[in-house]
Chains A and B, each alone.
Chain A
Amino acid sequence: MSMFLVEFSQLLVVSFFAGAVGSLLGLGGGIIIVPVMTLFLRIDFRTAAGASLIAVIATSSGSAAAYVRDRLANIRVGMLLEILTSLGAITGALLVGRIAGRTLFVVFALVLMYSLVPTGQKILAELSHKASSGQPGQSAVSSRLALALRLEGSYFDPAKGRTVEYHLRRVPLGAAIMYMAGLASGMLGIGSGAFKVLAMDSVMGMPIKSSTATSNFMIGVTAAASAGIYFSRGEIDPFVAAPVALGVLAGSLFGAMILPKMAGTGIRVAFFAVIVAISVQMLLRGIRGG
């Protein structure tokens, strides 16, 4: 078998697992595939980030359709904040060439560790058999800016059996975090879902279900803003990006549809531990170099 075929199938299989594990843990495929490509397959960081951005666009576009149909995603909030995420993504894509490779590994490790916090909390809650408590800090009225921009929304919650209405506030702070989310996305080749959810859920007071859905909806546009730059710089290698995009897309569909029925908390704890180990390795690679 030729080297090319070996590398191609390796990328396809690894990306499938990255997509599946990512959706099982509530992470994007990008944040897992970039470390795997750079640490284990020794692929250049920018080539890995470019391929990952393509995978991020594919999974976001594929899953956003379902969220929009279920009316969980708030299209107005998404569109408004995409101004900031896409500006951030452009900044990130232009910065990546000016930042030393080791720094990128350190930043990536820190972002990955931060992204793992919500998943870790969820697993801990499951282990101690605590139902996740209601969300703090939701507002009964919209702030002036949120009202002017018609950012309020509602969705039907089947678990509660009723329609949940929500109002948003602290839009400027949320928007600032969105810019940072875009920056991380363009620089690291990830979807930055964790930061997007932070901005909407913790800062602006959007219910977690809507925040997650709106974040998924926004990720594709954010990634496209930097993917265009990577493409015109010739940093998207079609024979790396194609298997990664197809693999992550298939893996995340598999992870979303089939795995939750099979995988209990034990398997998720195991995968979680693996990703924690990978984040430490990313950090070490950044510190030690090589």
Chain B
Amino acid sequence: MEPRGSRDANPSRAVEKVVILALRSGVVLSAAIICLGLAMLIAKGIFSNQIGSGATPLPPRDLGALAAGLGAFDPGSVVTLGLVILIATPFARVAVSILAFALERDWRYVVITSIVLGILGASLALGKSLG
């Protein structure tokens, strides 16, 4: 089971680096997109109206509506895109961890981490079907 007979209790630097990169880029990217959406809202002058009272389209709830909203340059959809990226950041973190554990040949943790990713994926399907 022990591939290289290593006594190192912590996963290697490679795992840590990809995990850090996934987390950082996700947060920075989403914060930037949220700010862009808010800037678009100000630019459109919608701040003088009530949101959600017909002045702007309702915020998208699924990726199809989100894509349509983005195509129409709807600020609410841009903000939502930022939020979706933020929600996706932990997903990405788990996904890159699978690769990182595979590179380490730590197959047990490849399986464990895949289970976590599977549960996260199932949560999206459940939200859709029961929502």
By a beta-carbon cutoff of 8 Å, the part of chain A in contact with chain B is 2-5, 54, 57-58, 60-62, 64-65, 68-69, 71, 74-76, 79-80, 82-83, 86-87, 89-90, 93-94, 149-150, 152-155, 165, 220-221, 223-234, 236-239, 241-242, 245-246, 249
User: Is B31 a contact of A220 with CB atoms below 8 Å?
Assistant: no
How far, in whole Å, are A75 and B47 apart by their CA atoms in the complex?
Answer: 44
Interface size on B, residues (CB 8 A): 57
How far, in whole Å, are A155 and B51 apart by their CA atoms in the complex?
Answer: 50
- A177 to chain B minimum Cβ distance, whole angstroms, is 18
Which B residues are CB-close (under 8 A) to A232?
Answer: 61-62, 124, 127-128, 131
- A269 to chain B minimum Cβ distance, whole angstroms, is 32
Which B residues are CB-close (under 8 A) to A155?
Answer: 10
Q: Which residue from A75, A90, A249 sits with its C-beta under 8 Å from B123?
A: A90
User: Is A228 a contact of B131 with CB atoms below 8 Å?
Assistant: no
Task: Please report whether the interface of chain A is mostly helix, strand, loop or mixed according to DSSP.
Answer: helix
Most-contacted residue by chain A among B15, B23, B84, B91 (CB, 10 A): B23
User: Is A165 a contact of B124 with CB atoms below 8 Å?
Assistant: no
Provided the pairs A4-B49, A83-B112, A229-B127 are in contact, do residues A234 and B61 lie with their beta carbons within 8 angstroms? yes
Which A residues are CB-close (under 8 A) to B82?
Answer: 242
Q: Which residue from A57, A225, A245 sits with its C-beta under 8 Å from B34?
A: A245
Task: Please report whether the interface of chain B is mostly helix, strand, loop or mixed according to DSSP.
Answer: helix
27 residue pairs of the A-B complex, CB under 8 angstroms, read A2-B49, A54-B86, A57-B87, A58-B30, A58-B86, A61-B27, A61-B86, A62-B27, A64-B23, A71-B16, A75-B15, A75-B19, A79-B109, A89-B123, A90-B119, A149-B108, A150-B108, A221-B120, A224-B87, A226-B123, A229-B127, A231-B87, A233-B127, A238-B80, A242-B37, A242-B79, A242-B82
How far, in whole Å, are A3 and B46 apart by their CA atoms in the complex?
Answer: 12
How far, in whole Å, are A57 and B89 apart by their CA atoms in the complex?
Answer: 8
Which A residues are CB-close (under 8 A) to B88?
Answer: 224
Across the A-B interface, how many residue pairs have beta carbons closer than 8 Å? 167
How far, in whole Å, are A290 and B79 apart by their CA atoms in the complex?
Answer: 32
How far, in whole Å, are A276 and B97 apart by their CA atoms in the complex?
Answer: 39
- B115 to chain A minimum Cβ distance, whole angstroms, is 6
Per-residue CB contact flags for chain B residues 1-22 toward chain A (1 = under 8 Å, else 0) read: 0000000011100011001100
- B76 to chain A minimum Cβ distance, whole angstroms, is 6
Which B residues are CB-close (under 8 A) to A3?
Answer: 50
- B78 to chain A minimum Cβ distance, whole angstroms, is 9
**A-B contact sample (19 more), CB < 8 A, given A54-B87, A68-B16, A86-B120:** A60-B90, A61-B23, A61-B86, A61-B89, A68-B20, A68-B23, A71-B16, A76-B109, A79-B116, A86-B119, A149-B108, A220-B93, A221-B120, A224-B87, A228-B87, A231-B84, A236-B83, A239-B59, A249-B27
How far, in whole Å, are A236 and B37 apart by their CA atoms in the complex?
Answer: 16
User: Is B90 a contact of A87 with CB atoms below 8 Å?
Assistant: no
Q: Is B72 an interface residue (CB 8 A)?
A: no
How far, in whole Å, are A179 and B50 apart by their CA atoms in the complex?
Answer: 41
User: Is B26 a contact of A61 with CB atoms below 8 Å?
Assistant: yes
User: Is B97 a contact of A75 with CB atoms below 8 Å?
Assistant: yes
Closest Cβ neighbor of A7 among chain B residues: B51
Which B residues are CB-close (under 8 A) to A62?
Answer: 23, 27
Q: Which residue from B34, B48, B62 sits with its C-beta under 8 Å from A2?
A: B48
